[in-house]
Amino acid sequence: MNKVVHIITRLDMGGSAQNTSLTCRELIRKYEMVLVYGLSFESRMTEQEKESVDRGIKESVEKCVRVIATPSLIRRISPLQDLKALFSLWRLFIRERPFIVHTHTSKAGILGRLAAKLAGVPIIIHTPHGHVFYGHFGPLVSKCFLFTERVMARITDQMVALTQTEKNDYVALSVFSPEKVATIHSGVDVDRFMNVQVNIAEKKRMLGLNSKGLLVGTVGWLLPIKGPMHLLKAMPYVWENHPETSLIFVGKGDLEKGLKEEARRMGVSDKVIFLGWRDDIPEIMETIDVFVLPSLNEGMGRVLVEAMAAGKPVVASRVGGILDLVKEGQNGFLAEPGDEKGLAIAIKKLLEDKKMRDEMGKRGREMAQGFSVEKMIEKIDVLYESLLHY
């Protein structure tokens, strides 16, 4: 078996971590898989989140994936820890002698690729899981990241973009040439979100939701780049006509406290529910009438596929990889990033038309089939084979 080492900074509840773990578990039958990760100190996970992550690690180990924790591999910039991580990874590659090193996300991508090059690893692949060239930082920092990626591209055999839009950005910004970028959508366990059996009224009661009104919801990190504050500030335009509608945020992040304070300031704390990270996302998704992803930048937005698989119409920002998933007027509506009135108009359209919600939900469920785990694994396997036999 050819040995493949995957490297990621954090194993947490985020899409990039889930996607990486899935890849290792599903390809273990064909490749010797090693998963290297940092200890995710910065994620500030709750005990429930940690338990969920630990279950995922245990499942990987049970499927014979070798899982190796590297404490020095942290997300923030730290010269001392970064040098330790670089040396640890280099020493690991010298010992393990993998044919392929596949890095994920920005920090692990830089250190992992550099260590792999120094160790003489034959094939180096990188999946950014969305870039940080705009929306995340100011112009100067964004330019620094762009320059760094252009340098790292010289030692990268292949990059994996999650969407065609992401690939276009990398090519347009002269980071990679088109032939060095493969487009492989993030795989989603769509079956887990289809035909979920749940008593919606009872589930709403358990979650503390208004059983009479409709429900607008979002799932993901509560971070500025995900745009949750824009969604909250869009809702007063919705509540003007739909006062019984509730809003739920599923997830955690740096903006959680600020969002709760803003909801109190607006006098709508009774209409806004914060659920934190949950293990019952498929059941929660069944209670949602309109799913919203208001990101300012997005590599793909795999949670949109989950909502689509659950048969929910979606409203999202017209940005990044979202354009690969949401087709205007077919399975949902798009608004400009940060456009709170635009979000509200789209949400109201759906709240006021059940037939439209049902039709868009049905189309979304059909479209979600194209983003299954099986299709992702098949494409990654083809990529590995092509590079191994190049």
pLDDT the model gives residue 44: 65
Q: What is the pLDDT of residues 10-68, one digit of tens each?
A: 887 777 888 899 999 999 999 999 999 998 655 566 676 777 778 888 999 999 999 99
Annotate 364-388 with b (16+ C-beta within 10 A) or e (fewer): bbebbeebbbebbbebbeebbeebe
* DSSP reduced 3-state for 267: coil
Q: How far apart are CA 145 and CA 160, in angstroms?
A: 18
Q: Assess contact for 56 and 14: CB atoms under 8 A.
A: no
Q: Name residue 286's amino acid.
A: E
Q: What is the pLDDT of residues 96-139, one digit of tens each?
A: 999 999 999 888 999 999 999 999 999 999 999 877 766 666 77
Q: How far apart are CA 225 and CA 218, in angstroms?
A: 14
Q: Assess contact for 227 and 343: CB atoms under 8 A.
A: no
pLDDT the model gives residue 27: 96
Q: How far apart are CA 259 and CA 220, in angstroms?
A: 14
Q: Name residue 320's amino acid.
A: G
pLDDT the model gives residue 42: 58
Structure tokens at 191: 């079956």
CB atoms within 10 A of CB 96: 17
Q: How far apart are CA 308 and CA 273, in angstroms?
A: 22
Secondary structure of 334-368 as H, E, C letters: EECCCCHHHHHHHHHHHHCCHHHHHHHHHHHHHHH
Q: Assess contact for 93 and 61: CB atoms under 8 A.
A: no
Q: How far apart are CA 98 and CA 220, in angstroms?
A: 34
Q: How far apart are CA 43 and CA 76, in angstroms?
A: 11
Ramachandran angles phi, psi of 257, nearest 5°: -60, -45
Question: How far apart, in Å, do the first and last CA atoms of the chain sit?
Answer: 17
CA torsion sign for 341, 343, 349, 351 is: negative
Q: How far apart are CA 16 and CA 162, in angstroms?
A: 10
Show the domains of the chain with their CATH numbers: 3-187+372-388 (3.40.50.2000), 190-371 (3.40.50.2000)
Q: Assess contact for 82 and 49: CB atoms under 8 A.
A: no
Q: Assess contact for 352 and 157: CB atoms under 8 A.
A: no
pLDDT (tens digit, 0 to 9) for every residue of the chain, 390 residues total?
A: 799 999 999 887 777 888 899 999 999 999 999 999 998 655 566 676 777 778 888 999 999 999 999 999 988 888 999 999 999 999 999 999 999 999 998 889 999 999 999 999 999 999 998 777 666 667 787 788 889 999 999 999 999 999 898 899 899 989 999 999 999 998 888 999 998 989 999 999 999 888 789 999 999 999 999 999 999 999 999 999 999 999 999 999 999 999 999 999 999 999 999 999 888 999 999 999 999 999 998 888 889 999 999 999 999 999 988 999 999 999 999 999 999 999 999 999 999 999 999 999 999 999 999 898 999 999 999 999 999 987
pLDDT the model gives residue 93: 98
Write the CB contacts of 329 (distance below 8 Å, at least 6 apart in sequence): none
Q: Assess contact for 111 and 86: CB atoms under 8 A.
A: yes
Q: How far apart are CA 86 and CA 94, in angstroms?
A: 12
Percent of the chain as helix, strand, coil, to the nearest 5: 50, 15, 35
